[in-house]
Amino acid sequence: MITNNKGAAGPAVAFRDVVKVYHPDIKALDHVTFDIQPGETVALLGPNGAGKSTAIDTMLGLRAPTSGEVRILGGSPAAAVAAGQIGGMLQTGGLPEGAQVSELIGLFRQLYRDRRSTTELLTLAGIADLADRRVEKLSGGQTQRVRFALALAGNPELLFLDEPTAALDVEARRHFWRSVETTAGQGTTVLFATHYLEEADANATRIIVVNHGRIIADGTPAQIKAFTATRTLRFSTPVPDPSELLKLPGVTDVVVNGDAVTVRTSDADGTLPALYALGRQIKAMEVGGGGLEEALIALTSADNSPVMEGVA
Amino acid sequence: MAAFLRFEIMRSLRNVRFLVFIAGFPVLLYLIYAKQTGTSQGLTVAAILMVSMAVWSGMGSAMFATGPQLAKERQNGWMRQLRVSPISAPRWFTAKLAQGLLLIIPGFILLILLGFGYGHVHLAAGRVAMLAAVILLGVIPFCALGLVIGLMFDGQTAQVAQMLTLLVLAFLGGIFIPYSNLPHVMQEIANVLPSYHLVQLGWNAVAGRALGIRHMLALAAWTVALGLVAVWRWRQESTTA
């Protein structure tokens, strides 16, 4: 089968039952299946070590899956790379010493057969002032932006960004996501990995949450955020009354087992005061997260995070 | 591929360490030692040294195109970035080989000019052309050697490995010390080294002697052996890394 052109039918990415094992006991990807449709902007969200980079590396053809199938634009990752249909910004990536930024961009434009003008690339990446700069004189954030320009050089059908904003300051981040949006608006399908829920929420049309090599949630940002608000309250109270508990604000589910009660709520802050206001004797209260907590507990807000230099 | 080759050559020529190595160092040695009088097997010291230094410069530049630079770029992720761009591995290899060979030219021309101007070497144009051909083809195994070093070692280690390899090849191969002055054991070692065979070919070319099929076969064997190791390491890395 020949690779699809922009807008052609079929998923941009088909990830089928993919397993990647590095060590016999470490499954970086554990039977992962998902499709990405052309035109989507998808966030792969999860803590460090969740399997995001491994997933992206297999889509770029940098790693072969242990089992399962990865199809990119209807063909193999290698075919899509060779055809220049993919742009990739990897998590770590130095630039070759001795080169000027403008030379690097010139090289990539030629490798991708002049699909985007130099001016457009410099503007999108926000590096017009760095064109004459030597690579070894760039800061971590500047290097990151140059690498973004290289990933865009081929006006790719599919753009992969692995933790692309790690070294960027707030202003550079804003510019970066605006450019991603512009690119997506021109028809590029985007997949980015992040461990910031807010970044995924603000910039993706769909979020896939991964942890321990598995997909634990897949939905729109609104759906994912609703999931994350879910809390589980566990306590004991004499002769619990499920119908009474179900009327409390935010409660979606009540399980009673003798004196032991498990309540699921989408609004723990509203539920708890109302529960205590019932005047019941409540003992051994435990507040736990919803199904996503384990994955998301390690996720931090993009705006609170320190600006990191270099490798994240 | 032409774009990639041009890019690689441009940034090599900006690398001071490289320029010192391919031009500065051999030129300096030549200026110091070429004025010694004497002949050996029909060649003046100035002519012998011109060939030695051209070989030394050629070996160095061939290995530089790959060697420590490749090791560093594997480590810092640049090679991964190239692997997700449309340049294919064979074209990358070819460009690297061409880079190694083309970058020999400045050092070679400089040493020929010095040999003629400073060392008073008299050589027919045909013999200079023969020397150029010998060195150009003869450094191919050194390009492969650079690849092997660049693929086997990481950053700093590759730098050290490359310097040691070059020095050992130069001393034991009879480039810095005449082969006949080496102890017998070392001569035995020299007999298998590519540097020995290349410099012998060079002297034969300049003296107008038969080049010696034995030397050519030895260099061809080194190319094949090192090439296989490089391809094996490359494959290993692209499947597991």
The ipTM of this complex is 0.86
Q: Where are the domains of chain A?
A: 13-220, 230-296
User: Cβ separation of A90 and B239 shorter than 8 Å?
Assistant: no
CATH assignment of A13-220, among 1.20.140.10, 3.40.50.720, 3.40.50.1100, 3.40.50.300 = 3.40.50.300
- Nearest beta carbon to residue A103 from set B10, B81, B239: B10
B50–chain A nearest CA distance, Å: 30
| Of the listed ranges A291-305, B10-24, B31-45, B124-138, the one predicted with least confidence | A291-305
Segment A23-32 long-range contacts (CB within 8 Å, at least 24 positions apart): A27/A212, A27/A213, A28/A54, A28/A213, A29/A54, A29/A55, A29/A58, A29/A65, A29/A68, A29/A213, A30/A212, A30/A213, A30/A214, A31/A68, A31/A214, A32/A68, A32/A210, A32/A213, A32/A214, A32/A215
Q: Which one of A57, A86, A110, A132 makes the best mutation probe of the B interface by having the most chain B beta carbons within 10 Å? A: A110
Over range B230-241, report the average pLDDT: 76
pLDDT one-digit tens code per residue, A193-225: 998 888 998 999 999 999 889 998 899 988 887
Q: What is the pLDDT of residue A77?
A: 95
Q: Examine the pLDDT at A46 and tell me if it is beyond 80.
A: yes
| Number of neighbouring beta carbons within 10 Å of residue A165 | 27
CA distances for A30 relative to A24, A67, A251, B113, angstroms: 12, 10, 33, 65
Most confident of A19-33, B95-109, B216-230: B216-230
Q: Which one of A81, A134, A147, A155 makes the best mutation probe of the B interface by having the most chain B beta carbons within 10 Å? A: A81
Report if pTM > 0.90.
no
Q: What is the pLDDT of residue A303?
A: 35
Over range A158-181, report the average pLDDT: 94
Nearest to A111 by CA among B110, B31, B5: B5
- Please report which confidence band the pLDDT of residue A139 belongs to, taking 50, 70 and 90 as the band edges: very high
Q: What is the pLDDT of residue B116?
A: 93
Higher-scoring residue by pLDDT: A17, A269: A17
The mean of the pLDDT values for chain A is 87
Q: Examine the pLDDT at A167 and tell me if it is beyond 90.
A: no
Q: What is the pLDDT of residue A291?
A: 53
Higher-scoring residue by pLDDT: B223, A4: B223
Q: Examine the pLDDT at A25 and tell me if it is beyond 50.
A: yes
B84–chain A nearest CA distance, Å: 6
Q: What is the pLDDT of residue A8?
A: 52
If 0-12 CB within 10 Å is exposed, 13-18 middle and 19+ buried, where does residue A252 land?
Answer: exposed
Nearest to A159 by CA among A46, A241, A47, A81: A81
The mean of the pLDDT values for chain B is 90
What is the spatial distance between Cα A233 and Cα A246, in angstroms, rounded to a whole number? 13
User: Cβ separation of A110 and B12 shorter than 8 Å?
Assistant: no
Q: What is the pLDDT of residue A7?
A: 46
Over range B36-50, report the average pLDDT: 87
pLDDT one-digit tens code per residue, B55-72: 999 998 888 878 888 999
B55–chain A nearest CA distance, Å: 26
CA distances for B228 relative to B91, B194, B225, B233, B235, angstroms: 17, 16, 5, 9, 11
Q: What is the CA radius of gyration of chain B?
A: 18
Q: Examine the pLDDT at B182 and tell me if it is beyond 90.
A: no
- Please report which confidence band the pLDDT of residue A292 belongs to, taking 50, 70 and 90 as the band edges: low
* Residues from B in contact with A at Cβ < 8 Å: 3-4, 7, 10-12, 14-15, 69, 72-73, 76-78, 80-81, 83-88, 239, 241
**Number of cross-chain residue pairs from A and B with Cβ atoms under 8 Å apart:** 78
A56 → chain B, closest CA residue? B84
* Residues from A in contact with B at Cβ < 8 Å: 60-64, 81-84, 86-88, 90, 92-99, 103-104, 106-108, 110-112, 147, 150, 154, 160
B238 → chain A, closest CA residue? A62
Cα-based torsion angle of the residue sequence A58, A59, A62, A64 in order, rounded to the nearest 10 degrees: 40
Q: Which residue has the tokens 């990536």?
A: A93
Higher-scoring residue by pLDDT: A59, A48: A59
Second CATH level (architecture) for the domain A230-296: 2-Layer Sandwich (3.30)
User: Cβ separation of B81 and A84 shorter than 8 Å?
Assistant: no
pLDDT one-digit tens code per residue, B150-161: 999 988 899 899
- Please report which confidence band the pLDDT of residue B240 belongs to, taking 50, 70 and 90 as the band edges: low
CA distances for B121 relative to B38, B44, B118, B125, angstroms: 13, 8, 8, 12
Q: Which one of A103, A104, A111, A150 makes the best mutation probe of the B interface by having the most chain B beta carbons within 10 Å? A: A111
User: Cβ separation of A111 and B10 shorter than 8 Å?
Assistant: no
Q: What is the pLDDT of residue B239?
A: 63
Per-residue burial over B195-231, b = 16 or more CB atoms within 10 Å of its CB, e = otherwise: bbbbbbbbbbbbbeeebeeebbebbeebbeebbebbe
B238–chain A nearest CA distance, Å: 7
Q: What is the pLDDT of residue A212?
A: 87
User: B-chain residues within 8 Å CB-CB of A61?
Assistant: 83-84
User: Cβ separation of B86 and A95 shorter than 8 Å?
Assistant: no
- Please report which confidence band the pLDDT of residue A232 belongs to, taking 50, 70 and 90 as the band edges: confident
If 0-12 CB within 10 Å is exposed, 13-18 middle and 19+ buried, where does residue B36 land?
Answer: exposed
Q: What is the pLDDT of residue A2?
A: 43
User: B-chain residues within 8 Å CB-CB of A103?
Assistant: 7, 10-11
User: Cβ separation of B81 and A99 shorter than 8 Å?
Assistant: no
Higher-scoring residue by pLDDT: A119, A229: A119
Q: How many helices (H) and strands (E) does chain A have?
A: 11, 13
Q: What is the pLDDT of residue A44?
A: 96
Over range B158-180, report the average pLDDT: 89
CB A165, CB A173: distance < 8 Å: yes
Q: Examine the pLDDT at A290 and tell me if it is beyond 80.
A: no
Q: What is the pLDDT of residue A297?
A: 54
A23 → chain B, closest CA residue? B240
A110–chain B nearest CA distance, Å: 7
Q: What is the pLDDT of residue A304?
A: 35
Q: What is the pLDDT of residue B217?
A: 97
User: Cβ separation of B81 and A93 shorter than 8 Å?
Assistant: yes
| Of the listed ranges A120-129, A292-301, B217-226, the one predicted with least confidence | A292-301
Q: Examine the pLDDT at A311 and tell me if it is beyond 70.
A: no
User: A-chain residues within 8 Å CB-CB of B9?
Assistant: none
| DSSP secondary structure letters along A123-184 | HHHT-GGGTT-BGGG--HHHHHHHHHHHHHTT--SEEEEESTTTT--HHHHHHHHHHHHHHH
| Of the listed ranges A162-171, A211-220, A296-305, B111-120, the one predicted with least confidence | A296-305
Over range A177-195, report the average pLDDT: 96
